[in-house]
Amino acid sequence: MERAFKFKLLPTPKQAIKLLNSLDACRHLHNAALEERITAWKCCRKRITYKMQSKEIPEIMKAYPEFKSVQHHVLQRALKRLDRAYAAFFKRIGDRKAGKNACKVGFPRFKGRNRYRTLEFDRTAFSLKGDQLRLSKVGTSKVVLHRSIPKEAVVSVAYVKRDAVGDWWVMFSLELPDAPVRTPKTAIGVDVGLLHLATCSDGTVFEPVRSLKSGLKRLRREQRRLSRRKKGGTNRERQRVIVARTHRTIERRRSDWLNKVSRKLADSADVVVFEDLRVKNMLQNRCLSRAISDAAWGELIRKTTYKAEGAGGMVLRVKTQDSSQECSNCGRMVQKDLSERTHRCVCGTVMDRDLNSAIVIVKRGIGKLQGIVPTFCGVSHDCAAPTGGTPGRDACGETGNTAARAVAPDLVEAGSPPF
């Protein structure tokens, strides 16, 4: 499995200048290679490939002295990035023609000075000994190792990045042995929301940090100051850094809290079940888009996924339809408005709306894991009654949870008795 470790890089002033010159050289190479591809297709209907352009690097280094200060493989990786962008563009075009739900198609762009911030060093262009990182044609710099790199890890690529504030960072791409997969015995369902970031089926509730909301007043003030500064001036650049630092503080607070929550979720059960949300579609709501973005549900699911995989667990996603309307006890549909926060069913079940949804989610996840796909009224496809029947019961008169228990008697909800 692949993992990325990010550390702060502390180059000397001379090394920082070399890194900036390398960024400029790679950016110019990227723009020239993109222009060559566009011109060749428009004029001659000829396709330029990565191999054709990479063969021209030695001649470019002879003709332009500024490219001699950049490691040869770093220039190759810059061309490879452009080639990946082209491949991704045409793949999305093909997916859209095939009717697949592809993301927005965007053609590779020319990069300005503030749009190209990363250098890629392969394993032949760098070496790490302790906290000292040697980069080819740059020198040896100190790395702030706030955590140790596993001994069994193989470092394949080092990405050196300069953020908007001006600080330097290095990301190591690690190849780690796959963690042994645990036999799933416990499962937990997670319902994400705005009032509570995550509500678990065992009753645990995680509150949102709302980092953007708490820092929005300061961010607006600093952005107004930036808009009043004269473009191209020193004061504007100084104010731009202040705005970038404010954005970074907001992002760090959110990321820190999501890391803590995802770690607790990954350690709480062998199987973590989320709803398969379409967050991009939900962002079309102008009234809730900022709050949804601040909650970062997709990032929470992503962090929980890789942490669970690293611990030998797994993350499942189930359909979202009527998860807040279905009763977790009997399977009946109880229609509720968004403002109604308590679930009340005729069977006598009364509980918090989010907790009821989390229990429904974990039951669907267990059904998916065992190959039983329950309908949203609680009837199992495997033994559904053809006509009539009680919602939540199969043709044998047993509830869907009982059917799941018959398939996997050892799989139980975390923090609750077996079904």
Annotated catalytic residue 275: yes
d(CA 138, CA 142): 12
Instruction: Indicate the residue type of 273.
Output: V
Give me the catalytic one of 120, 202, 222, 275.
Answer: 275
Q: Which two tokens stand for residue 192?
A: 């994400």
Contact 361, 189 (CB under 8 A): yes
Catalytic pick among 294, 354, 394, 413: 354
103 φ/ψ angles, rounded to the nearest 5 degrees: -75, 175
- Please choose, from the candidates 374, 353, 352, 354, the residue with its C-alpha nearest in 3D space to the C-alpha of residue 419: 374
Active-site entry in 83, 120, 191, 222: 191
Joined together, the tokens standing for residue 128 give 């790490």
Exposure on the CB side of residue 220, measured as CA atoms within 13 A: 6
| Closest CA relative to residue 85, chosen from 103, 102, 108 | 108
Structure tokens at 134: 């040697």
Q: Helix 353-369 and helix 400-407: axis angle, to 10°?
A: 40
For every residue of 25-40, DSSP letters joined together read HHHHHHHHHHHHHHHH
Q: Examine the residue annotation and report whether 337 is marked as an active-site residue of this protein.
A: no
Query: Contact at 8 Å (CB) between 264 and 303?
Result: no
Q: Phi and psi dihedrals of 77, rounded to 5?
A: -65, -30
Quick one: CA dihedral 357, 358, 359, 364, positive or negative? positive
Angle (deg, nearest 10), helices 72-97 and 13-44: 50
Q: Which DSSP symbol is given to 197?
A: S
The structure tokens listed for 66 are 């500024």
Task: Give Cα 374 to chain centroid, integer Å.
Answer: 29
Q: Catalytic residue at 191? A: yes
Q: 409: exposed, middle or buried (C-beta count within 10 Å: 0-12, 13-18, 19+)?
A: exposed
Structure tokens at 179: 């963690």
Burial class (CB in 10 A: 0-12, 13-18, 19+), 10: middle
Token pair, residue 395, equals 């043709």
List, by residue number, the catalytic residues.
Answer: 191, 275, 354
